[in-house]
């Protein structure tokens, strides 16, 4: 019987499906040192963002050579040392299709929150403050949204933003995409200059570091609004706080952080920032779809 370790939780019905298919499923989160011991006992492991599968974990698994598959329940795999795992005979898979709509909707939600001061008013009214005159917002309709990266999630954002009356422009390292003529491809620098809202949809690359830093903020429009539901690290948090303080960035919606849970109070307590604790894929629908993708991945792999 193949043993599956579910490190960070998953849809219960998907776990039942795996068990009905003959897999032994253990739903347990282990900290690093204990995981080094436990990982030797499993054929596959399923992780979300909380568990980091770095080289020491992989080395521990290689002692028994039992682990054959790591599945990331989500899109990004930057919490896994993918190349090292693959070099040592451990396959790495993700669930790229399941959470696109959920993350896209959260990005739009942050746009509305900061454009209409919902994030602030929701707090001040609970403190018995009626700050009506302070909360003159802006409409999304007629604004230009710049998407950095144009993969599955960005395309879902583009569709929703277009329906709201936004002009959508995008940049991507692959260049202009066929079949998306309603949205204009721009160079990275041109997008920074033209966009009223900027939303990031790219993975974090440790070698390259932040894509948006002090130099990039300087190129943006005064009063730009920034949304990051992609990955912590793609935006330099120090530079973002400075841009918020100066007014270069009027507001930001942030779901992901350089360190999670974040300790950067200057960012998450900033009055111009709408914050959520990395919940882009945290909807019932997305988790159910992720569960289905995981079941298909595991059953196909071990068939």
- The ranges assigned to domains in the chain are 3-98+283-302, 100-275
Alpha helices (runs of H) in the chain, residue ranges in sequence order = 12-20, 32-38, 55-62, 82-87, 100-115, 118-124, 152-163, 188-194, 214-219, 237-246, 265-268, 284-302
User: Is pLDDT at 206 greater than 90 in this prediction?
Assistant: no
Q: Which CATH number fits domain 100-275: 3.50.50.60, 3.30.565.10, 3.40.50.720, 2.60.120.10?
A: 3.40.50.720
Positions annotated as catalytic residues are: 231, 260, 278
Average pLDDT, stretch 62-81? 94
**For all residues of the chain together, what is the average pLDDT?**
97
Q: DSSP state, 133?
A: G
**pTM for the full model?**
0.90
Average pLDDT, stretch 79-106? 96
For residue 96, the model assigns a pLDDT of 86
**Backbone region of residue 210 per phi and psi (left: phi > 0; alpha: psi in -120 to 50; beta: other values):** beta
Q: Which CATH number fits domain 3-98+283-302: 1.20.1740.10, 3.40.50.720, 3.40.50.1100, 3.40.50.2000?
A: 3.40.50.720
For residue 97, the model assigns a pLDDT of 85
User: Is pLDDT at 52 greater than 90 in this prediction?
Assistant: yes
Confidence of residue 207 (pLDDT cuts 50, 70, 90): confident
């Amino acid at each position: 019987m193949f043993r599956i370790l579910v490190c960070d939780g998953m849809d219960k019905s998907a776990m039942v499906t795996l068990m009905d298919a003959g897999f032994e499923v253990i739903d347990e989160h282990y900290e690093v040192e204990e995981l080094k011991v436990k990982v030797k006992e499993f054929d596959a492991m399923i992780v979300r963002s909380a568990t980091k599968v770095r080289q020491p974990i992989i080395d521990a698994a290689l002692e028994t050579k039992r682990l054959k598959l790591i599945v990331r329940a989500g899109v990004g795999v930057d919490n896994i040392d993918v190349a090292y795992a693959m070099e040592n005979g451990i396959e790495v898979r993700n669930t790229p299709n399941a959470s696109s709509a959920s993350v896209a909707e959260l990005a739009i939600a942050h746009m509305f929150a900061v454009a209409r001061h919902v994030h602030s008013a929701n707090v001040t009214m609970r403190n018995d403050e009626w700050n009506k005159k302070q909360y003159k917002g802006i409409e999304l309709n007629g604004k230009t949204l710049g998407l950095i990266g144009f993969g599955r999630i960005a395309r879902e954002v583009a569709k929703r933003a277009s329906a709201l009356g936004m002009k959508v422009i995008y940049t991507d390292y692959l260049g202009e995409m066929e079949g998306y003529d309603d949205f204009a491809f721009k160079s990275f620098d041109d997008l920074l200059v033209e966009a009223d809202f900027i939303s990031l949809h790219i993975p974090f690359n440790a070698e390259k570091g932040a894509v948006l830093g002090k130099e990039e903020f300087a190129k943006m429009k005064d009063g730009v609004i920034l949304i990051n539901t992609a990955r912590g690290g793609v935006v330099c948090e120090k530079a973002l706080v400075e841009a918020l303080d100066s007014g270069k960035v009027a507001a930001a919606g942030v779901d992901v952080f350089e360190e999670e849970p974040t300790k950067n109070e200057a960012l998450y307590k900033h009055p111009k920032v709408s914050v959520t604790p990395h919940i882009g894929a945290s909807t019932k629908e997305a988790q159910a779809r992720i569960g289905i993708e995981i079941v298909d991945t595991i059953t196909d792999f071990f068939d």
